Structure 1
């Protein structure tokens, strides 16, 4: 799977981007909901380009599914950015969710002092739990929730009746995922519809990471007593055999085994897992930049060769 195989930017998302761009100047605080398991990959680069100097609260939701130590590292990493505060929550704990509003008040105290509402905008990629957070803050069902990406399709303004007005936005993705690893992580955690991904490709990517980062969790969950196999295909076959994912002739049904792995990652059955670390992302971004430079050089070289062939043929 490459970053171009997913329909990242359907029409309603393009419309949402334009609406958000127009609304941001009237907002005091931006709340961006991230998936605590993939804080970088679930962070929308469009927000960084649109927010200007607005204060941003990065809410790492689903902290109960993520590795607690990694979550602390990510909070410290995110807060290195100017005017950014980060916090980790789970929507299972309503008190944690309401702390978002406390932080909003701290970031723009002058609004309340002037007797004005704090105007906030909440954003987040699909299926990150944004609608559940909104309903908790509002104390009533005002946003559609669902376990599928892209449920919210249009903006709405919600007066929380406590001095804060919240603008909800559709879960927008971005035109192109520059880091191909992020595409796999978004697919693994359910940010894109399953029809847009190949379960086997995503499972191979996931299990390769897990065998290095969380080998004991794999061994425990799938009762793999011996040392984990070196290759991802051998490891997926071992998981498939343990789960009875067999076809006629005793061959492992890799698609069925892949579905089991991905679903158990998503629902936390595998354990508390974070799919990326700050230092890993730093290296990946360097690799992406080098790859883009190489592609640009190859493109320029091919263009020059075509020009020379054209000139030779004209003589």
Structure 2
């Protein structure tokens, strides 16, 4: 399944962000620590690089991610030009309190009462931008919800007298190139429910967990995972939870929902769906689907 989700308001959000980028000093990009590269919007990278704006990259939900994978991602991003990366949880006040100082270190030529630092907060839907805004300002200024794309308009807000925050709507990009990225984003709840088939996303997630976190999966649901595939995991969850359809067959749909909710809440354990190494492998082995009217072998080299 190839997942694409680009509601109409995201086009307007991109235009507004491009216009505002000229008037800001830096970008605070919030990504999901469990899928940091899959949740990095290439349009944000293009916009800030065009204006040569530095980036504070916040790997949010780090409390849900695999610590070892997160350390590898921090090394990966901190080696990039004009990028400072930090892992934290926007739900923890002590973590959020670090953000203003890190932002000023990222753009040290601003951050005084005479020259306030102008920071644009960007990211894809449901990575925690609104939670960060509310925590920074210590009041509810941005709507928070468990559904993606809650924020739909830009906001300009003042953090003390030395920092201005421009909050932007969550933006995906028009075409997700790698199908697994779409599935990881859907599993992590960054894609609207109408754009996905929950059972397919859960089966993908189950297979990935079998490959990398089988002991956590077995401990959570109480069955041995050897020789299982993704669908068998969903059947196993249905049987253990006595989820049945009329006629007695396992209710795989309900099991899929349980697996996704358990992953999103951290009930299975601290999990990362990608690492720098897995990303490198994906890019090295990815074969784009054939264009209409040609076979895979006939595709020209890009």
Shorter-chain TM-score tier: over 0.9
Name the structure 2 match of 1:79.
Answer: 78
Name the structure 2 match of 1:21.
Answer: 18
**Is 1:176 the equivalent of 2:168?**
no
Name the structure 2 match of 1:106.
Answer: 105
Distance 1:188 1:182 in 2: 10
TM score, norm. by length of structure 1? 0.89
**Is 1:298 the equivalent of 2:297?**
no
Q: How does 1:29-178 map to 2 (within 5 A)?
A: 29-52=26-49, 53-112=52-111, 115-178=114-177
Distance 1:95 1:259, change over 3 A: same
Name the structure 2 match of 1:283.
Answer: 281
Q: Is the 8 A contact 1:123 1:168 kept in 2?
A: yes
Distance 1:78 1:50 in 2: 18
Deviation at 1:286, TM superposition (A): 2.5
Q: Secondary structure at the match of 1:234?
A: helix
Q: Is the 8 A contact 1:236 1:254 kept in 2?
A: yes
Q: Secondary structure at the match of 1:265?
A: helix
What whole-Å deviation, never above 9, does each CA across 1:62-96 have from its counterpart, x for those lacking one? 11111111111111111222110110111231121
Range with bigger deviation, 88-97 or 125-134 = 88-97
Q: Which entry has the higher C-alpha Rg, 1 or 2? A: 1
Note the aligned Cα RMSD (angstroms).
Answer: 2.1
Name the structure 1 match of 2:235.
Answer: 237
Q: Is the 8 A contact 1:33 1:128 kept in 2?
A: yes
Distance 1:97 1:227 in 2: 39
Q: Is the 8 A contact 1:228 1:235 kept in 2?
A: no
Distance 1:302 1:107 in 2: 47
TM score, norm. by length of structure 2? 0.93
Deviation at 1:302, TM superposition (A): 8.7
Deviation at 1:243, TM superposition (A): 1.2
Name structure 2 gaps, 5 residues minimum: none
Q: Secondary structure at the match of 2:115?
A: coil
Distance 1:98 1:122, change over 3 A: same
Distance 2:68 2:37 in 1: 16
Deviation at 1:296, TM superposition (A): 8.8
Deviation at 1:299, TM superposition (A): 7.9
Deviation at 1:227, TM superposition (A): 4.4
Distance 2:23 2:165 in 1: 12
Name the structure 2 match of 1:308.
Answer: none
Distance 2:10 2:20 in 1: 15
Q: Secondary structure at the match of 2:194?
A: helix
Q: Is the 8 A contact 1:30 1:122 kept in 2?
A: yes
What whole-Å deviation, never above 9, does each CA across 1:218-267 have from its counterpart, x for those lacking one? 1100011x343332222221121111112244311110110110011111
**Is 1:187 the equivalent of 2:186?**
yes
Q: Is the 8 A contact 1:219 1:228 kept in 2?
A: no
Name the structure 2 match of 1:266.
Answer: 264
Name structure 1 gaps, 5 residues minimum: 304-315
Q: Is the 8 A contact 1:112 1:163 kept in 2?
A: yes
Q: Secondary structure at the match of 1:20?
A: helix
Distance 1:114 1:100 in 2: 18
Distance 2:173 2:205 in 1: 22
What whole-Å deviation, never above 9, does each CA across 1:156-195 have from its counterpart, x for those lacking one? 1001124000000000110000011010011101111222
